[in-house]
């Protein structure tokens, strides 16, 4: 059975392949993905999240900068880059594409049991993302 590190590495590969269904297949039926914009429960909701994300950033690429593992949890510091070429779903509604390139850093904690992701918590710099997309002035990140 696959351990947390192997599943986490497959997750990164599926992101770079823009394969939302492969990402969904890594989760347990009742797996949960939590990130600053919301919580997504179950494979179908997670697949839909990634389909929309790949629509918003069709050239998205990511890489793990640091990897660690503790028991059944893989921890990754990562960076992703992409161009916002499609509409972006947010809790406040759909934002039109900006055409802007973004690079953000974040961290994941992916807990695996019985070879599937049960819990995935992602944290990233929302302020940097919104500033790079042009929704906030540059001065907002100074200091």
If you search the block for the tokens 């269904």, which residue do you land on?
A: 21
Residue 114 is given by DSSP the state T
Residue 37 forms part of a structural domain: yes
Residue 85 forms part of a structural domain: yes
Helix H or strand E encompassing 117: strand 116-124
Residue 114 forms part of a structural domain: yes
Decide if 26 contacts 10 (C-beta within 8 A).
Answer: yes
Residue 143 forms part of a structural domain: no
If you search the block for the tokens 């770079």, which residue do you land on?
A: 16
Kindly report the pTM of this predicted structure: 0.90
Domain that holds residue 74: 4-137
Residue 142 forms part of a structural domain: no
Full pLDDT tens readout for the chain, 143 residues: 689 999 999 999 999 999 999 999 999 999 999 999 899 999 999 999 999 999 999 999 999 999 999 999 999 999 999 999 999 987 788 999 999 999 999 999 999 999 999 999 999 999 999 999 998 877 545 45
For the chain, what is the domain count?
1
Q: Which of 97, 95, 105, 11 is nearest to 57 (CA)?
A: 97
CATH number of the structural domain spanning residue 37: 3.10.450.50
Residue 67 forms part of a structural domain: yes
β-partners of residue 56 are none
β-partners of residue 64 are 78
Residue 101 forms part of a structural domain: yes
Decide if 88 contacts 97 (C-beta within 8 A).
Answer: yes
Query: Which pLDDT does position 14 carry in this prediction?
Result: 98
């Amino acid at each position: 059975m696959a351990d947390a590190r192997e599943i986490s590495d497959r997750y990164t590969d599926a992101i770079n392949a823009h394969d939302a269904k492969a990402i969904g297949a890594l989760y347990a039926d009742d797996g949960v993905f939590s990130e600053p914009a919301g919580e997504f429960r179950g494979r179908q909701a997670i697949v839909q999240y990634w389909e929309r994300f790949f629509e918003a950033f069709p050239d998205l690429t990511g890489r793990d900068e640091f990897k660690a593992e503790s028991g059944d949890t893989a921890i990754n510091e990562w960076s992703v880059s992409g161009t916002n070429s499609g509409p972006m779903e947010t809790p406040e509604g759909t934002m039109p594409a900006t055409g802007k390139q973004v690079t953000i850093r974040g961290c994941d904690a992916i807990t695996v049991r019985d070879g599937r992701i049960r819990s995935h918590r992602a944290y990233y710099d929302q302020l940097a993302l919104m500033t790079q997309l042009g929704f906030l002035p540059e001065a907002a990140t100074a200091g």
